[in-house]
Amino acid sequence: VRRVVIGTAAVRQPELVGRLVERHDAERIVVSVDARGMDVAVHGWAEGSGVRVEELTARLSTQGLETLIFTDVSRDGTLRGLDRDLMATVRRLWTNTLIVGGGVADVTDVRLLDELGIEGAIVGRAIYEGTLPYPVPAGV
């Protein structure tokens, strides 16, 4: 196993990520933050956590985490496009490697990722529906 992705446990057990990073190196640990706006959701998006994205990202950064996945659960699977303001806010909060998801629709979203300096995206439905070609053409 090269990497593990942790979700709810990173929220519910605040010390867990730091211990894992110390034991296994930061490049092997990824945290997935699922949120409605700036409110972190847990347990498969079914529950609010009472934790804000800015609070969680600050803690994860001090624990040495390098890669964060952020999903806007209100848009996931909708093909509505990424929420520009939300993604820009998360990019400001998380200066290490950032992968985002939630509503990716087409090449406009790929351009937004590039503009914001976001390293990657999780894409599903846009490829299935054919609104985003795969592979994405160079220079998009």
Please name each of the domains of the chain with its CATH number: 4-129 (3.20.20.70)
Q: For residue 56, what are the contacts with CB-CB under 8 A and spacing of at least 6? A: 10, 11, 33, 40
pLDDT at 38: 97
Closest CA to 100 of 108, 110, 13, 132: 110
pLDDT at 30: 98
Which three-class secondary structure state does DSSP give residue 106?
Answer: coil
pLDDT at 46: 80
**What 8-state DSSP symbol labels residue 136?**
P
Distance CA 120, CA 35 (A): 17
- Give the model confidence (pLDDT) of 12-66 as tens digits: 999 999 999 999 999 999 999 999 999 999 988 787 889 999 999 999 999 999 9
Predicted structure pTM score:
0.94
